[in-house]
Amino acid sequence: MDVRRAGERYPGGDPEAGIDTRHAFSFGPHYDPGNLRFGAVIACNEERLAPGAGFDEHPHSHTEIVTWVVEGELTHRDSAGHESRVRPGDVQHLSAAAGVRHAERNDGAQPLTFVQMWLAPREPGGTPSYALVPGIADSTPYAVPAAGAMLHVRRLGAGERTAVPDAAYLYAHVVRGRLRLAGEELGPGDSARITGAKGTEAVGVTAAELLLWEMTAS
């Protein structure tokens, strides 16, 4: 298990424009050849947008983009005609495929925090698609077949235990609270990369929320 702490993330965004970003993987000017991906995951960005701030329309291709809102409300618009409001507990999935453009903004009056995760598809190209799953439950994983991956959400109380999926590659990101994963204590923004996960358990130190990517192959 390889643990990466929140303080090790690469800073990014545009603070003067109300955008604060923390990258878990090599990104933009923060090129790190030893930290390009883990399994299918190629980005896990913590984004904080002030009211009125956001990312204007920009392109993506050959990327599965999954977004989890922590607090606030995210406004999504894309070139395929989708417009959505994404709230805490919702899973948003934009499959960029051969190419799509989208914009993401905080149109609300409160600060917005979200985690955006990018996965590399097994095959390039295809037709872009969009899905929004409201209020996903702990017992309902969200599959991203194009990347051979499945997202699990775990919400734990203090002292509560939960099994972690067995997987060739398992990426864990702590959204909030503190927990122990395979005996290692993790806090908000910390992550763990486990190869050959088997019989792994998470235990809440406090109330906590955990995102887990179960992946079949690199």
Which comes out higher in pLDDT, residue 216 or 185?
Answer: 185
Whether the pLDDT of residue 146 is over 70: the answer is yes
Query: Could you tell me the pTM of the whole model?
Result: 0.95
Mean pLDDT of 173-180: 98
Bridge-partner residues for 211, per DSSP? Answer: 153, 173
Give the mean pLDDT of 30-40.
94
Q: What is the pLDDT of residues 58-109, one digit of tens each?
A: 999 999 999 999 999 999 999 999 999 999 999 999 999 999 999 999 999 9
Work out the average pLDDT over 154-168. 96
Q: Which of 134, 147, 161, 142 is nearest to 212 (CA)?
A: 142
Provide the residue type at 69 as one letter: V
**218: pLDDT strictly greater than 60:** no
What are φ and ψ of residue 95, in 5° steps? -95, 110
CA distance 122 to 88: 29
User: According to the model, what pLDDT value does residue 217 have?
Assistant: 67
Give the pLDDT score at 28: 83
Sorted by where each starts, the structural domains of the chain and their CATH numbers stand as 2-215 (2.60.120.10)
Per the prediction, the chain carries an average pLDDT of: 95
Strands laid side by side in the 161-163 sheet: 161-163, 201-204, 179-181, 184-186
Report the pLDDT value the prediction gives residue 200, as an integer from 0 to 100.
95
The DSSP call for residue 99 is: -
How far apart (Å, rounded) are the C-alpha atoms in residues 16 and 71?
Answer: 21
